[in-house]
Structure 1
């Protein structure tokens, strides 16, 4: 019966997919009572990298907590554990942020991507608000988690692809309109992860090395308290980094 209910909801949404083959790794935040956990991997496949291992390729993540009244952000301590980075503090703040911009330029020519620099951005709790004085290069804003605007360098991003990963790891795909806006479906209760990859083909230089493009990964995680039972997770299907 549970599977049948899920199928009915999926048909109504019209955009749900069981295809969970990831295109790349990214960072995302999950809260706990003492702060948050910052994972590296692919949420849609249940893949969370470990240390020692690929988690060690994330060298210098930074995290912040939002002061809802002032709009200011306070830096938090980030420490490496065997399965994630632990973000100490934040409590029950409505918004936590994390970023990793220190990764070196990589030669991804064999993947058809040329010389590329990758940056990671992650939000938890709520999108960028009117009093939020901290903005990622790639970000989302909106008062309703189901109605968002994707921004790149402060401007609406037309045609951006969003992967919405449900609590049971089903994936929905959307594209923003000409104003960078998108409305998503969240039929189940639980934690959702939105992943956006935007490739900026403007050449540049980082740490003395030239790159042909910036690969910007952004995630926005939020909890939906109501909705249908999500049922069991879809079996993992891990893609390559």
Structure 2
């Protein structure tokens, strides 16, 4: 009975980790808001039930910026421009010994820079354009699967071309969010120990005015 309970708990943890995403929202040059949850759904009052596990995402180029915990998100004041953060410690690794898995999140808000600054990132092909490229270690990911969520929460999956590029159907004003995933398998070094699999989840949000 105990073994079944532990297995169910591990499966629940795996499902939660892979269903959740970390994303960043920013309005103009105001503070950035970092969320943990399901971006395709309205954010519950007070934040997602797992939000407390988002403790200290690592900001790219803004390491000294203070993260302020609000009701449902972390707020950080940073200079104008694109904002990026990543976190590999949101969820504890799950699975049995020798087959453990974990997840690392890469989040970005803005489309003014065409470069990628994280190992897994969705970047605009041209500044403020509607074509994006999925990059892994600076190289395009051919055939990458990308989910697009529009301001009215319309969601659809797309497949990038051989150059890792896809065009986002910009239909209305408001915030758009793109997400992509990759799964690495093998002996993978991790702060908690060696993993058998590592899930990478990247998000990019931008606002059409």
Instruction: Encode CA deviations 1:183-225: one digit per residue, 9 max, x unaligned.
Output: 1211111110111111122431212422111111111110112
TM-score by length of 2: 0.79
Secondary structure in 2 aligned to 1:209?
coil
Instruction: Encode CA deviations 1:4-63: one digit per residue, 9 max, x unaligned.
Output: xxxxxxxxxxxxxxxxxxx61111111246411111111111245846941111232122
Aligned to 2:85: 98
Task: Say whether residues 1:40 and 2:24 are aligned partners.
Answer: no
Q: Contact conserved, 2:175 with 2:205, CA < 8 A, in 1?
A: yes
Distance change >3 Å, CA 34–CA 185, structure 1 → 2: closer
Shift of 1:102: 3.0
Length, aligned pairs only:
187
What is the distance in 2 between the residues matched to 1:198 and 1:211? Answer: 15
Instruction: Encode CA deviations 1:106-125: one digit per residue, 9 max, x unaligned.
Output: 1247xxxx521211111111
Secondary structure in 1 aligned to 2:51?
helix
What is the distance in 2 between the residues matched to 1:127 and 1:118? Answer: 27
Aligned to 2:25: 30
Distance change >3 Å, CA 185–CA 106, structure 1 → 2: same
Secondary structure in 2 aligned to 1:40?
strand
Aligned to 2:104: 119
Q: Contact conserved, 1:77 with 1:89, CA < 8 A, in 2?
A: no
Aligned to 2:122: 140
Equivalences for residues 159-238 of structure 1 within 5 A: 159-225=143-209
Q: Contact conserved, 1:128 with 1:139, CA < 8 A, in 2?
A: no
For 2:78, which of 89, 97, 100 is the aligned residue? Answer: 89
Distance change >3 Å, CA 180–CA 88, structure 1 → 2: same
Distance change >3 Å, CA 98–CA 49, structure 1 → 2: farther
What is the distance in 1 between the residues matched to 2:48 and 2:156? Answer: 32
Q: Structure 1: any 5+ residue segments left out of the alignment?
A: 1-22, 65-72, 226-241
TM-score by length of 1: 0.69
Task: Say whether residues 1:107 and 2:86 are aligned partners.
Answer: no
Q: Contact conserved, 1:40 with 1:49, CA < 8 A, in 2?
A: no
Instruction: Encode CA deviations 1:217-241: one digit per residue, 9 max, x unaligned.
Output: 111110112xxxxxxxxxxxxxxxx
Aligned to 2:62: 74
Q: Structure 2: any 5+ residue segments left out of the alignment?
A: 1-17
Secondary structure in 2 aligned to 1:56?
helix
